[in-house]
Amino acid sequence: MTSEHPGPPAARPAPPRTDGVDLTGRSALVTGGGSGIGRACAEAFAAAGALVHVVDVDAESAKAVADAVGGVPHAVDLTDADALDALPAAVDVLVNSAGTQYVAPVHEFPPARFELIQRLMVTAPFLLLRHCLPHMYGRGWGRVVNISSVHGLRASPYKSAYVAAKHGLEGLSKVAALEAAPHGVTCNCVNPGYVRTPLVEGQIAGQAAVHGIAPKDVVTDVLLGRSAIKRLIEPDEVAAVAVWLCGPHTGYLTGASIPVDGGWGAS
């Protein structure tokens, strides 16, 4: 982000925060693991001791992150349902983080783009749950963390596909939580506001166009307009919550949506 954004960026914790969660001997599959929140999750789960399968459509990014955390890279287009079958099913933790964004009014929104966002952000998590839950059930333990959004609980203009997808992910997560509970498996959503990621940076121009404001004003006037804490969230802050949900003290926490939104939901 540019220097025009409010406040200094928060320092990245080094190593990533795990808050004492020990996942030694466990394995985790993280989608969108090549950048942004997914990368932060891959780093945090590896720091907690898990073997991390880093899934990303960008092969170079997946390999770079996997090499850095001692994990396994998987270059997969999650919108290709058949390609998901090649991913490992025998994992203990599933983190659905992959996503994309497109900003346009409903009456101008490209139908093909709308459908693609649903495939990536709703259908792919469903297929991965279907793929991975049998192993978790067999082990009697598993954790599913769906990286949702504040937009899984409310809406903003010009984001029909993204908001619809995140609301769909919320419903899917709750159903999975109810079904998985007897098997020792929990399923929760993490709901961040605007995070300092390439996904957010990439939508600034589009937001400026639809709102009729300068790009430099998008962060303060649009992204942080409803947040009580006037800074972007750091990816590591979201990843820390994801790891926390996999700790021994959260076994009774399931079907929940955990806000990490700087007070947006309270406004």
Q: How far is CA 202 from the centre of its chain?
A: 16
Cα–Cα distance, 144 to 94 (Å, whole number) = 5
| Residue corresponding to tokens 């996997």 | 66
Q: Indicate which residue of 102, 162, 194, 252 is catalytic.
A: 162
| Tokens representing residue 96 in the block | 């659905």
- Residue 162 among the catalytic residues: yes
Write out the DSSP string of 231-265: SPBPHHHHHHHHHHTTSGGGTT--S-EEEESTTGG
Catalytic residues: 162
